[in-house]
Amino acid sequence: MDSTTVAATTESLWTHWLVTGFLSSVFTSIFFYLFLWALKPSLRIAPTIAAYNLAMREGTMRVYGFKVVNDGIFHRVIDIQCQLLLLEDVNTDGGTNVLIQTLKLRNEKMWYIKRKYMSEKGSFACVFLTTEELLKLWDSDKKRLQFQITCKHALSGFSRVFTSTYYTKTSIKNGKFAFGDSFKIA
């Protein structure tokens, strides 16, 4: 082999290695991102609100419950923050604005909710309560309730916001939520 052939072969090998290395790193990065993207929180919020009387230190009070279930198979969700909003459409010159009123929940933050599978005693579900008089506050067809929950996946750290909006008062049912991942109210 002469020196021109050796140089051309060496250059061809370097080009092949660079292209192969670049493409493999791109595909590996995409695969890794998709793997982490699959590790995001997976929650469900009940489509109805449970209303019942609950004995507390202050006496028996009417409470309204919003049930959340962690459908995560392998990991729990952490750093949970909830918010209950009363939204009202207000007509203004040129359009409609939304008036937002924050309603108080009994517990707006939690450390974690366990994973659904291989968890004991339904610890993958929880109910967030409010003692606000929802039926009195929700006094117009222009108003609606919105329950928002923000959480992180325990392994990937990816955050996600889940929202459930209740447009009519018929969303409120008397009774307590059933045990486990059921949203039935009995």
pLDDT the model gives residue 102: 93
Q: Where do the structural domains in the chain lie, given as residue ranges?
A: 1-38, 43-174
Statement: 43-174 belongs to CATH 2.60.40.1400:
yes
Pick 152 or 16 by higher pLDDT: 152
- Tokens 């952490």 identify what position? 78
Using the predicted structure, report yes or no on whether residue 37 has a pLDDT greater than 80.
no
- Mean per-residue pLDDT, 87-101: 89
pLDDT tens figures, 142-160? 899 999 999 888 877 788 8
**Displacement of CA 141 from its chain's centroid (Å):** 27
